[in-house]
Chains A and B, each alone.
Chain A
Amino acid sequence: MEIVVCIRRAPTTDARIKPAGDGKNYEPGGINYDISEYDKYAIEAGIQLKEKHSGKVTVLCMGSKEATKEVRTAIAMGCDAAELLVDEAFRDSWATANALAARIKTLPHDIVLFGWNSVDNQSAATGQMVAELLGLPSVSVAVNMEVADGAAQIERLAAGGKREKYHVKLPAVVTCQKGLNKYRSPNMKGIMAAKKTVVTEMPANAPADGVSVLRLQPPPPRADGKIVGKGSDAVSELVRLLREEAKVI
């Protein structure tokens, strides 16, 4: 089975984001990066499919040259091959999806896996866009998946905790949500393999962004709050404030 997993390098979730002087990007100093959280469930899903059905997991990443670190982490977890589509700028989901789709077209692929959302840009769009560009079925926010006989049974999380069940023919695009699996940490053998793996680098074949950034700004500041009181004595005053001052009850 030929498995392609698309990953993204993103600031870690404890990063403090401050707009930079150009007003369009964030201040890069002091930011640590990692594989965007949900992409780890996609990597794990790919490795589990390989373990069950044999085959190969190729990890594909569009990003800056520094993303080699995240790509190697994916190898260390158990992916077999790695490609980095180099683009140094912050690109939107449309540009990213086009670059990924153009490359995936040239690779054998029975299933293409994504994290359901990125922790930085948070568009939750790239996987579905790639599916549309490649003319493949897509199921997003998967929390359960079984693959057999060239098809996949997938459950996705819908509104109000409901689960929608799909049966799709492969090849297909699936975006992965927490709950699909528990992702593994790299072991020593994986880390050694990652050191030896050649990461194929090529320029990303991306068009202009579909939506362009006018400005990146800090969120509107919140007004100073107050401590209403201590313990259960404070609850009636809190309820009064919610009712009469904040008018939310």
Chain B
Amino acid sequence: MPDVLVFIECSEGKPVKTALQALGAGSRLATELGGVAIALVIGGDGGDLGKKGAGKVLVASGDAVKAYSPDGYARILADQAAATGAGVVLASATPMGKDFVARAAARAKCGLAADCTELKVEGGKPVAVRPVYAGKAMLAVQAPGQLWATLRANAFGEATTALDAKIDPVVIGFDTSSLKAVVREIVEGVRGKLDVAEAEVVVSGGRGLKDPAGEGKQNWQNLEKLSEAIGAAVGASRAVVDAGWRPHGDQVGQTGKTVSPKLYIACGISGAIQHLAGMSGSKVIVAINKDENAPIFKVADYGIVGTVEEVVPALTEAFNKSLQG
């Protein structure tokens, strides 16, 4: 019961960064509970996970996991949750984790604490804390039995203690013909594009940047250059997405993505409550706005009052100089 089972998502056979964060969170929680973190790798390589905090590694491979299937992955995770008798089951709240972990929890007849930002032990029992209403409030929850939780990207650090983990294969008790939904094809997005929900740095644009098909063209190009200078993903406010200026996948806010990067730079965004809700979990917030009374300055750690036309290219240049120097 004190063990923590952690799903390790892989991309091209290698664990993704957020999976290592979940493993870090799992290993710390397991230590507090008196157990170990058990890494469950599906469709990838578990070789180095001891160095990332796993006390034990399970690897599911073969034809049944060649292509992603929500019900297939859910069966494997629910089966291992039962077989290991773990007290806690964790996964990162990535698009994949959000998709199948809810199915897996239901299969295990458990609830789900989704998109958590904190895990702790109270009175000997694991407790998960999760933002609700897009961060306007925090909900602390516990489960009567096994606690299932998905973890927000960048809210947890990787493990710092290395363990000597034994690797065991997982026997998959089904074949592909029994799967209900399987990915047939993956259409690439923009090559190398960072997802705002997972990026460590986000640069967001609002209505102040104006229409990219008209007078705002240069502003959006400047925003892209700023993002390239510091390796950031580009986000957008709801107004901008509703106007069709940016794809909805970029939207940050209560009806878009909730983000918690280490640095969030809001450009030409006034700061409507539904936007603030989506980004106020960021570690450091910078706001650039020409209106010094804009609500965005209330949550910003650092603000510059000025137009995006003037400040954004100047900031890109200053970053480039600083990063070279």
A interface with B by C-beta (< 8 Å): 11, 13-17, 19, 26, 37-38, 92-95, 97, 119-129, 131-133, 136-141, 155-169, 172, 177-179, 208-220, 222-223, 225-232, 234-236, 238-243, 246, 248-249
Chain B residue contacts of A164, Cβ below 8 A: 68, 183, 185-187
Which of A124, A211, A223, A246 is most buried by chain B, counting CB atoms within 10 A of its CB? A211
- Pull 18 A–B residue pairs with CB atoms less than 8 Å apart, ordered by A: A16-B273, A92-B141, A124-B102, A125-B114, A158-B186, A159-B96, A162-B187, A167-B184, A211-B111, A217-B138, A218-B138, A229-B304, A230-B305, A235-B317, A238-B315, A246-B301, A246-B302, A248-B201
Q: A161-B195, A225-B300, A225-B303 are contacts. A216–B248 as well, Cβ < 8 Å?
A: no
Q: A123-B102, A239-B322 are contacts. A139–B70 as well, Cβ < 8 Å?
A: yes
Whole-angstrom CA separation of A230 from B74 in the bound complex: 53
Produce 1/0 per residue, B36-55, CB < 8 A to A. Answer: 00000000000000000000
B interface with A by C-beta (< 8 Å): 11, 68, 70-71, 74, 94-96, 98-100, 102-107, 110-115, 122, 127-128, 130-144, 147-148, 180-190, 193-195, 198, 201, 230, 241, 247-249, 251, 253-255, 258, 262-263, 272-274, 277, 280-281, 283-286, 292, 297-307, 310-311, 314-315, 317-319, 322-323
Whole-angstrom CA separation of A168 from B181 in the bound complex: 6
Contact pick for B255, options A97, A178, A242, CB 8 Å: A178
Q: Indicate if the CB atoms of B273 and A132 lie closer than 8 Å.
A: no
Which of A16, A19, A219, A235 is most buried by chain B, counting CB atoms within 10 A of its CB? A235
Q: Indicate if the CB atoms of B286 and A166 lie closer than 8 Å.
A: no
Q: Indicate if the CB atoms of A94 and B112 lie closer than 8 Å.
A: yes
Chain B residue contacts of A140, Cβ below 8 A: 70, 98-99
The 5 closest A-B pairs by CB, nearest first: A210-B111, A161-B189, A125-B102, A137-B180, A232-B314
Contact pick for B254, options A13, A217, A230, CB 8 Å: A13
Please give the distance in Å from A176's CB to the nearest CB on chain B: 12
Please give the distance in Å from A244's CB to the nearest CB on chain B: 10
A214: nearest chain-B partner, CB-CB: B140
Q: Indicate if the CB atoms of B304 and A228 lie closer than 8 Å.
A: yes
Whole-angstrom CA separation of A74 from B312 in the bound complex: 44
Q: Indicate if the CB atoms of A226 and B303 lie closer than 8 Å.
A: yes
Name A's interface SS.
mixed
Q: Indicate if the CB atoms of B112 and A159 lie closer than 8 Å.
A: no
Q: Indicate if the CB atoms of B114 and A124 lie closer than 8 Å.
A: yes
Contact pick for B182, options A92, A166, A208, A238, CB 8 Å: A166
Q: Indicate if the CB atoms of B301 and A94 lie closer than 8 Å.
A: no
Whole-angstrom CA separation of A185 from B319 in the bound complex: 46
Chain B residue contacts of A178, Cβ below 8 A: 241, 248, 251, 255
Q: Indicate if the CB atoms of B249 and A161 lie closer than 8 Å.
A: yes
Whole-angstrom CA separation of A85 from B102 in the bound complex: 22
Chain B residue contacts of A226, Cβ below 8 A: 301-303
Name B's interface SS.
mixed
Q: Indicate if the CB atoms of B102 and A17 lie closer than 8 Å.
A: no
Q: Indicate if the CB atoms of B286 and A242 lie closer than 8 Å.
A: yes
Please give the distance in Å from B62's CB to the nearest CB on chain A: 20
Q: Indicate if the CB atoms of B306 and A232 lie closer than 8 Å.
A: yes
Q: Indicate if the CB atoms of B318 and A168 lie closer than 8 Å.
A: no
Whole-angstrom CA separation of A123 from B74 in the bound complex: 17
B145: nearest chain-A partner, CB-CB: A210
Whole-angstrom CA separation of A238 from B112 in the bound complex: 41
Whole-angstrom CA separation of A140 from B297 in the bound complex: 36
Q: Indicate if the CB atoms of A249 and B319 lie closer than 8 Å.
A: yes
Chain B residue contacts of A137, Cβ below 8 A: 70-71, 180-181
Q: Indicate if the CB atoms of A119 and B254 lie closer than 8 Å.
A: yes
Please give the distance in Å from B138's CB to the nearest CB on chain A: 5
Q: A178-B248, A234-B306 are contacts. A129–B106 as well, Cβ < 8 Å?
A: yes
Whole-angstrom CA separation of A232 from B314 in the bound complex: 6
Chain A residue contacts of B317, Cβ below 8 A: 235
Q: Indicate if the CB atoms of B304 and A230 lie closer than 8 Å.
A: yes
Q: Indicate if the CB atoms of B184 and A166 lie closer than 8 Å.
A: yes
Q: Indicate if the CB atoms of A248 and B283 lie closer than 8 Å.
A: yes
Q: Indicate if the CB atoms of A249 and B304 lie closer than 8 Å.
A: no
Please give the distance in Å from B127's CB to the nearest CB on chain A: 6
Q: A122-B114, A141-B99, A223-B301 are contacts. A17–B136 as well, Cβ < 8 Å?
A: yes
Chain A residue contacts of B319, Cβ below 8 A: 239, 249
Q: Indicate if the CB atoms of A214 and B127 lie closer than 8 Å.
A: yes
Please give the distance in Å from A229's CB to the nearest CB on chain B: 6
Please give the distance in Å from B55's CB to the nearest CB on chain A: 25
Chain A residue contacts of B143, Cβ below 8 A: 210-212
B323: nearest chain-A partner, CB-CB: A249
Chain A residue contacts of B323, Cβ below 8 A: 249
Please give the distance in Å from B125's CB to the nearest CB on chain A: 10
Q: Indicate if the CB atoms of A235 and B318 lie closer than 8 Å.
A: yes
Whole-angstrom CA separation of A15 from B195 in the bound complex: 27
A119: nearest chain-B partner, CB-CB: B254
Please give the distance in Å from A15's CB to the nearest CB on chain B: 7
Chain A residue contacts of B111, Cβ below 8 A: 92-95, 209-211
